[in-house]
Amino acid sequence: MELPHLVNIDDYRTIYHRDERWRPAIGEICHRHGIAAGSCVRGPDGTHIVYYAGPSHVIKLFVPLFREDFDAERIVLRRVEGRLGVDTPTLEFEGEVAGWPYIVMSRLAGQPLGEVWETVEPGNRVEIVERIGELIARTRRLPTDEFGGLSVDWPAFVARQTATAAERHAGGGVGQQLVDRIPAYLAAARPLLSDSFRPVLLFSDITDEHVLVSKTGGAWVVSGYVDFGDAMLGHRDYELVAPALDIALGDSDLLVAMLRASGYRDSEFTEAFRHRMMAYTLIHRYLRLSDVFDAVPEAQGAQSPEELAGFFWPV
């Protein structure tokens, strides 16, 4: 049995949705571990290939182009179970098939938050973002020496992301005037991004796809969290970007509730904090302004990062 040899991400994109390319590998993994292959259905889109194997198992096949995601996922899964206040998958098996690494993990109950968010009452939304804030706070308290394989040269990471920020955010309806102002804004904000800090564990991608919720007593509650392939050690503030712009979406009440539950004091909500968070927004690995504008359309008229900070970080 063979899996594709990929030279670049474009090769991967051309075959990503072709189920027939992955079924033999998924069948082999099922055979190895005593799982019924006939129960497998394709999971949600993402960076890697995910199949649900009945109600109990998830198979995640990692594209070798991003093997570091496999390493991060297995490191975190082994160490966070029972420590975050919400359910996380149990790592059941790991291995390689035709040079592609994979893991088999338990399948959690619950639905992705994004599937129900539009139906959630305002008060219940506040409760949900508070639980997300508590998840962030618990994660920060974990001893980082358990996650040594996730260490990052933070100044180099910031420099690399800063150098490519304007190019990354260009297009998709983002105004050129705004794009042209990004380099100067990040240069001015660089002193706010301290290189001297205590690193914490970052999941880096806390979004409404990865937060699972279940309905209890008529209200939705955060019941689980999945996907640790983007985990790394870094500055605590970086973690806030994904949930703030994917879940709070510029809503001041939701954002402040999440920040307070994460451990921030109101006295920290200064102009410097807003600009630091805007800088982390612009250098985030996975965020594109065009995607945020789709969810926060009132921000589309902003002509500068300074204006965007008011829309995205209204604290």
- The pTM of this model reads 0.95
Q: What are residue 212's DSSP bridge partners?
A: 112, 224
Q: What is the pLDDT averaged over residues 183-198?
A: 95
Give the helix/strand (H/E) hosting 236.
none
Domains and CATH numbers, the chain: 9-106 (3.30.200.20), 111-312 (3.90.1200.10)
Distance CA 86, CA 121 (A): 21
Predicted confidence at residue 3, as pLDDT, reads 92
pLDDT in tens, 210-249: 999 999 999 999 999 999 999 999 999 999 999 999 999 9
pLDDT in tens, 11-48: 999 999 999 999 999 999 999 999 999 889 999 999 99
Q: What is the pLDDT averaged over residues 112-124?
A: 97
Predicted confidence at residue 7, as pLDDT, reads 82
Distance CA 51, CA 57 (A): 9
Residues whose CB falls within 8 Å of the CB of residue 184, separated by 6 or more in sequence, listed in order: none
Give the helix/strand (H/E) hosting 202.
strand 200-202
Count the neighbouring beta carbons within 10 Å of the beta carbon of residue 148. Answer: 9
pLDDT in tens, 44-85: 999 999 999 999 999 999 999 999 999 999 999 999 999 999
Higher local confidence (pLDDT), 7 or 139: 139
The model's confidence at residue 271, banded by pLDDT at 50, 70 and 90, is: very high
For 275, the token pair is: 């600009």
Share of the chain above pLDDT 90, in %: 92
Q: CA dist 310 to 110, 239, 299, 303, 314, Å?
A: 34, 19, 9, 12, 5
Q: What is the pLDDT averaged over residues 108-134?
A: 97
Report helix, strand or coil for 87: strand
For 199, the token pair is: 């690193």
User: Is 80 exceeded by the pLDDT of residue 1?
Assistant: no
Phi, psi of 60 (to 5 degrees): -120, 115
> What would the DSSP string read from start to end of 19-71?
HHHHHHHHHHHHHHHT--GGGEEE---SSSEEEEETTTEEEEEPPGGGHHHHH
Burial of 243 (0-12, 13-18, 19+ CB in 10 A): buried
Contact in structure between 93 and 59 (CB atoms under 8 Å):
no
Count the neighbouring beta carbons within 10 Å of the beta carbon of residue 78. Answer: 12
Report helix, strand or coil for 254: helix
> CA quadruple 69, 71, 77, 79: dihedral positive or negative?
negative
Distance CA 137, CA 294 (A): 29
Distance CA 46, CA 59 (A): 13
